[in-house]
Amino acid sequence: MSRAIFRISLLTHVLLVAGQRPLPVVPNVILSNGVEFPVMSFGANVWDAETTRYSTGFALMAGFRNFFSSVLIGEASQAAQAEVLGNFSRGELFICGTVNTGDGACDGLDDCYAKTKAGALGQFSVLKQDLLDMIMLDYPATGGCESIVGQWKALEELYLANKTRSIAVSNFSPDQIQCIANNPGSTLPHMNQMPYSVGHGDDTVVQDDAKFGTKVQAYSPLDAGALVNDPLCKEIGDKYKRSAAQIALKWVLQRNVSVCTESTSLVYMQMDLDIFSFNLTVDEMQRLNAHKPTARNNVA
């Protein structure tokens, strides 16, 4: 069998298997402005466009409807996401684009405003959308509050012009959100995307950001794959007939943090969404809160 034929028959098989499964019902978190945000979001990594294309298709099949498209994955991959999502019913999708004006990319209020505005406008064309559901800053600007206020002014303008239904930040400390909050009447970030996974049980980010009405979304919810072999997650998973990864994701959700995940495997994507028919007990949550995963070996 030629490789091409093998790939096609594999894809057909996968489509048939996927088609037989009832789609999971993914709950929403309600953002501070009332917008519904599905708690499970799918993001692409720095993949080639073809990988992004089939993975995004698999994610739709698995039941993901919230898509995170970071400018950091590159224009070709973002365009591939847009192409696949463009063939799906828009009203069922939540689409988030990003702007990266962190790490010295801009300096001061005017410069950070101009560069962030240009970056944000670029997202509408790359993602082929007139209206986005969210635009996020990938990083806070370096250079203090003035620069952050400039970044935020650009997103806030788009929000007030109804070009995006919500605006968000990533990797922001409470002090950096406070820079925005210092300006009375400003729209506070609806979401802060942060590294968050089992091992972050002592983090206070959820409570800290709640003071601003800002919800938290986890990136790297499996700690870059390290948790797929975590012994405690495995042990708890046995009770629910779930994998260590599924338990690790469930812990994130029960900490009131939503999840942004990525995978190229349809089976793993389906497993990621198969975590809504059980809840971890208070005792299990406490054990996981206190857990400090050690080995970062066997990373998937």
Ligand X SMILES: *[C@@H]1O[C@H](CO)[C@@H](O)[C@H](O)[C@H]1NC(C)=O
Closer Cβ to ligand X, 242 or 255, answer by number: 255
Q: Which two tokens stand for residue 238?
A: 């046995």
18-33: b or e for each residue (b if 16 or more CB lie within 10 Å)? Answer: beeeeebebeebebbe
H or E segment at 46? none
Q: For the CB of residue 53, give the shortest distance to ligand X in the complex, in Å.
A: 6
Q: Which residue has the tokens 């929000």?
A: 159
Closer Cβ to ligand X, 105 or 216, answer by number: 216
DSSP-derived 3-state class of residue 187:
coil
Q: For the CB of residue 54, give the shortest distance to ligand X in the complex, in Å.
A: 9
Is residue 278 close enough to count as binding ligand X by CB under 6 A? Answer: yes
134-137 and 94-99 as β-strands: parallel, antiparallel, unpaired?
parallel
Is residue 274 close enough to count as binding ligand X by CB under 6 A? Answer: no
228-250: b or e for each residue (b if 16 or more CB lie within 10 Å)? Answer: bbbebbbebbeebebbbbbbbbb
Closer Cβ to ligand X, 78 or 100, answer by number: 78
Closer Cβ to ligand X, 2 or 87, answer by number: 87
CA distances, 86 to each of 73, 78, 79, 277 (Å): 18, 12, 10, 31
Closer Cβ to ligand X, 105 or 257, answer by number: 257
Only segment of 7-15, 71-79, 83-91, 178-186 that touches ligand X (CB under 6 A): 83-91
Q: For the CB of residue 86, give the shortest distance to ligand X in the complex, in Å.
A: 6
Is residue 162 close enough to count as binding ligand X by CB under 6 A? Answer: yes
H or E segment at 166? none
Q: For the CB of residue 84, give the shortest distance to ligand X in the complex, in Å.
A: 4
Rounded Cα gap, residues 95 and 161, in angstroms:
17
Is residue 240 close enough to count as binding ligand X by CB under 6 A? Answer: no
- Pattern of binders to ligand X over 244-263, x per CB under 6 A? -----------xx-------
Which of 2, 20, 277, 297 forms a contact with ligand X (CB under 6 A)?
Answer: 277
Is residue 2 close enough to count as binding ligand X by CB under 6 A? Answer: no
Which of 18, 53, 136, 219 forms a contact with ligand X (CB under 6 A)?
Answer: 53
Q: Longest Cα pair distance anywhere in the chain, in angstroms?
A: 66
* Residues engaged in binding ligand X (CB under 6 A): 53, 83-84, 87, 161-162, 206, 255-256, 277-279
